[in-house]
Structure 1
């Protein structure tokens, strides 16, 4: 799955852990998920088991999946060194993330360490590699707060915007309980000059506000509806209506779907829905409501555009042999 210099795309490309990829080759994509994830808020439920990650990828592949975008950012246990082997052995293309989550997910000393040049950290991980692994990130992940942006969020988004301008990478945004999209777009696209189609708003299914969805789509951002089967959020049962409304308004090309597996217990190999749920059950429900062609667009065409970038600083492809 690695890409040689001769095969490397000359136009926009999706930056995977095995090299840059022609967007047309991304295939059926889980646009927001996690193979590895650690946080003080997930004590005892960390995603840190390499064998379990491999099994989850195999299950996703058997359900028809071709690619996974891992939104795990800096300092949250990305296990970047493991990702190329997992991608190679599973046949699933993996995109890793740089970026920074909410402050609550980090020890104070970690935030202090990166604060001096946060944009430089992001750019380095996108163009040179994560740590000493040589594995390059292919997107930037940041986070807002509940209906607003605190000082930490504004700082990390400013760094993300600087890195986006330097590299072309897409910025994925964790919206707390699906809220705060207008504030995020005002900051990133209004004040900081990020093109709206370089912004992916995550967790919009958690706040089924059709007006906000429509406003975000009209602004030109991508809308990620992720985390199906999470019963503590307004997710599955309201989603077909939300997606139908957006599509009828002409915004079917803005919609992305993801699984957002965040705990060990949620993995399919541990009895939870996990990554395969998106394709084994969620897709079927949406196809009944919306039609197979539209759902295929959400899972293939849209993510191929959303995560592709005109990379401003090409770097050598990761060698994993």
Structure 2
């Protein structure tokens, strides 16, 4: 149960697949990654092996990791039923996501099925459980497009904003190649009135535009720099410069770091960087440029605030239970 003050008001907690914890107990956090993921856009590269997921968590734990935020949303193979066991066995805290990705990741009939009450689906997964029997999600994942927002993105973000108001959950946003950050903030925080500190902008390392970074941080959003570059290395070597610029401008408390493992080949157990890369290589490289104290803040204090919420105790109006198995089976969500 969510902790409460003496006056009955909920205090911020991080909602993991094993229950709510105090933010300070989150520990060294991989703020954006995937243990399970499936998409028609990545044929043959599904993350669907529970044994490989356990091995990745073990390697991450051995490197000093304590928590992983899995940003895999509804309908993309979250395998939610496996997450509590993996958390117990590894000792790594896991936060699951609800939400919806870009339309290209789904069959049309899936989108049609959830459209009737998308906000209700999000709220139910956050407050009751994924698929009706699984663990509760602890964040909302949505997605923008390349330098813009299409109708699907706007609809999904409107549902996310409604769910955020009902629960207090943070909204994590996939930015396509790191673009469109300010468009997202105009919609979520401007038109839809989501508090900026409830928005986490992902993949900003893929577009090292220091002007946009500073504007987004100045608006109050969190900025996630997650994963090594796959297309080229220009963004990788510019990352220390980008983080130093943000910290120097007074926005060190807005920065999150993650790994974003999205394919089987990228897992460390298959020879890729995987989850342990964040701590075994990436952290050490950033410490050389920025100092250990600052990087520790990015990995601990910042995600503890970003993913904590004063969770609402009442379900979404008109939604007392998840939409059920017709929307997504617990084992594959």
Q: Check 1:188–1:72 CA distance in 2 against 1; reply closer, same or farther (3 A cut).
A: same
Where 1:117 maps in the other structure, the secondary structure is helix
Distance 1:172 1:233 in 2: 25
Residue 260 (structure 1) aligns with: 260
Instruction: State yes or no: 1:19 paired with 2:13.
Output: no
Which of 3, 9, 18 is the aligned partner of 1:9? 3
| Alpha-carbon offset, residue 132 of structure 1 | 3.0
Give, in whole Å, the separation in 2 of the partners of 1:134 and 1:103. Answer: 24
> What number of residue pairs does the alignment pair up?
309
Aligned pairs for 1:47-196 within 5 A:
47-196=47-196
Q: Return the offset for 1:229.
A: 4.8
Contact 1:140 1:170 in 2 (8 A): yes
Q: Deviations over 1:21-60 (max 9, x none)?
A: 1000000000000000000001000000000000000000
Structure 2 partner of 1:293:
293
Q: Report if aligned partners of 1:229, 1:273 keep a CA contact under 8 Å in 2.
A: no
1:214 corresponds in structure 2 to 214
Looking at structure 1, the residues matched to 103 and 208 of structure 2 have their Cα atoms a distance apart, in angstroms, of: 26
Distance change (3 Å), C-alpha of 1:9 and 1:314: farther
CA offset at residue 228 of structure 1?
2.0
**SS at the partner of 2:129?**
coil
Give the TM-score, by structure 1 length: 0.95
Going from structure 1 to structure 2, the CA distance change for 1:221 and 1:233 (only over 3 Å counts) comes to: farther
Q: How far apart in 2 are the matches of 1:256 and 1:208?
A: 15
Match status 1:238 vs 2:234: no
Cα distance in structure 1, aligned partners of 2:270 and 2:175? 27
Per-residue CA shift, 1:162-181, capped at 9, x if unaligned? Answer: 00000000000000000000
Q: Secondary structure at the match of 2:309?
A: coil
Alignment-derived partner of residue 304 in structure 1: 304
- SS in structure 1 at match of 2:155: helix
Q: 1:227 to 1:116 in 2, by over 3 A?
A: same
Shift of 1:257: 0.1
CA distance in 2, matches of 1:83, 1:313: 23
Q: How far apart are the structure 1 equivalents of 2:314 and 2:267?
A: 35
1:64 match: secondary structure: coil
Instruction: Tell whether the 8 Å contact from 1:46 to 1:263 is kept in structure 2 after alignment.
Output: yes
Q: Please say if residues 206 and 229 of structure 2, whose CA atoms lie closer than 8 Å, have aligned partners that are also in contact.
A: no
Decide whether aligned partners of structure 1 residues 314 and 90 sit closer, same or farther in structure 2, where only a CA change above 3 A counts: farther
8 Å CA contact 1:266, 1:274 repeated in 2: yes
Distance in 2 (alpha carbons) for counterparts of 1:260 and 1:146: 18
Question: Segments of 4+ in structure 1 off by > 4 A?
Answer: none
Please give the secondary structure, in 1, of the residue aligned with 2:253: helix
Q: Which SS does the other structure have where 2:104 is aligned?
A: helix
Given that 2:45 and 2:263 are in contact with CA atoms closer than 8 Å, whether structure 1 keeps it comes out as yes
Q: Which runs of 5+ in 2 are unaligned?
A: 5-10, 316-333
Q: TM-score normalized by structure 2?
A: 0.91
Distance in 1 between the 2:285 and 2:314 partners? 41
State how far apart, in whole Å, the 2-side matches of 1:87 and 1:234 are.
Answer: 35
**Alignment partners' CA distance in 2, 1:118 and 1:38:** 20
